[in-house]
Amino acid sequence: MRLVRIVPFYLFTFLLLVSCGNLKKQTTDESVSMQPIGPAFCADSAYQYCQAQCDFGPRTMNSQAHDDCEAWIISKFKSFGMTVLPQKAVLKGYDGTPLHSTNIIASYRPEQKDRILLCAHWDSRPWADNDPDEANWKTPVMAANDGASGVAVMLEVARLLSQDTLKLGVDFICFDTEDWGVPQWEENDYEGDSWALGSQYWAANLHQKGYKARFGILLDMVGGQGAQFYKEAMSVQYASHIVDKVWRAAQVVGYGSFFPGQIGGGVTDDHLPVNTKAKIPTIDIIPHYPNCAQSTFGPTWHTINDDMAHIDKNTLQAVGQTLIQVLFSEK
């Protein structure tokens, strides 16, 4: 009699365990290696690339520093063996100002059909319009974080690819003219999207006919102190499987604390035209500071404090090693 009651209990427990095992398998993204894989990302190197861009001064549109930094970024990617294509255009700012714009497209293994896209903007915002002191609102931003950091992380990944082997092709696109959006002090209403003009241009004028990539990852402000990369809402909407892949990779390499599982806000950024117009599923790695009074993008966003003193190598390391894990896990 007793056995009749006990056997079904064990059977039930056994079935429960088996089904949990299956559940776990379903939620594990097998496209990411469960062990750290690929070369060690060097944050000191990325930090230097960030510094080198800032040494030109703010890289605002139509400035000498912008053109000098453009030549520097191109020469760095070339020095890592990448094929570089500058895509030039004169774009119109919200107030009609002609903006001499260059998207810099650097390609690793350009002959390979299977590709991954990494991108970041490289221009500096011409106005620190979110500075707490109104006297600074028309001062250009150094953009150590909001500009240079993303390019710096891409350059370090490119350097590592030049020393290691990855079967896949990788495109690094440095978008220009992301940060010419209508300033907060502007009182008139302006029509149209004034942000992300360079990526809008690229998505409408692909550097190669029919260009495709498996997926894209945008890096925006990936070097700030205290940064945490919540899941950005538009990324979840357009490319949730890539969000899952990247967040899992961060856990595997030990930087899960930089990538909380919660969703942050949705952001108008370079990934939108890449998703909607170029139709490449692309996520945005962008910080979210739920408790920061100055901005949810962090205390230095569009202020005169976005400089090298507020860059943290640990943040660069967390993002860079996560990207390496994603790239080297791809089959």
Cβ atoms of 258 and 229 within 8 Å: the answer is yes
| Least separation in angstroms between CB 188 and Zn ion | 21
Q: What is the DSSP secondary-structure string of 239-258?
A: HHHHHHHHHHHHHHTT-GGG
The answer to the question of residue 146 lying near Zn ion (CB under 5 A) is yes
Cβ-based nearer residue to ligand AHN, 131 or 269: 269
Taking CA atoms, 226 is separated from 45, 57, 138, 273, 295, in Å, by 20, 24, 27, 29, 13
Distance of CA 93 to the CA centre of its chain: 23
Only one of the segments 30-38, 123-131, 233-241, 244-252 lies at the binding site for Zn ion (rule: CB under 5 A); that segment is 123-131
Cβ-based nearer residue to ligand AHN, 77 or 195: 195
Neighbours of 290 (CB within 10 A): 11
| Least separation in angstroms between CB 198 and Zn ion | 13
| Least separation in angstroms between CB 233 and ligand AHN | 13
Cβ-based nearer residue to ligand AHN, 171 or 232: 232
In whole angstroms, give the CA distance from residue 44 to residue 313.
7
- Interface residues with ligand AHN (CB under 6 A) are 146, 179, 181, 195, 220, 267-269
Burial class (CB in 10 A: 0-12, 13-18, 19+), 117: buried
Dihedral of alpha carbons 262, 264, 269, 274, sign? positive
Q: Work out what residue 270 binds among Zn ion, ligand AHN, none; the CB cut-off runs from 5 to 8 Å by kind.
A: none
Cβ-based nearer residue to Zn ion, 38 or 126: 126
In whole angstroms, give the CA distance from residue 149 to residue 152.
5
DSSP structural state of residue 256? G
Cβ-based nearer residue to ligand AHN, 74 or 286: 286
Cβ atoms of 258 and 227 within 8 Å: the answer is yes
Token digits for 300?
Answer: 């230095």
Cβ-based nearer residue to Zn ion, 146 or 284: 146
| Least separation in angstroms between CB 125 and Zn ion | 5
The answer to the question of residue 123 lying near Zn ion (CB under 5 A) is no
| Least separation in angstroms between CB 213 and ligand AHN | 21
Closest residue to ligand AHN using C-beta atoms: 268
| Least separation in angstroms between CB 301 and ligand AHN | 7
Cβ-based nearer residue to Zn ion, 171 or 179: 179
| Least separation in angstroms between CB 220 and ligand AHN | 5
The answer to the question of residue 129 lying near Zn ion (CB under 5 A) is no
* Upper half-sphere CA count for residue 156 (Cβ side, 13 Å): 27
Tokens 């230097």: give the residue. Answer: 48
In whole angstroms, give the CA distance from residue 231 to residue 242.
11
**Residue of the chain from 70, 179, 244, 269 that contacts Zn ion (CB under 5 A):** 179
| Contacting positions for Zn ion (CB under 5 A) | 125, 146, 179
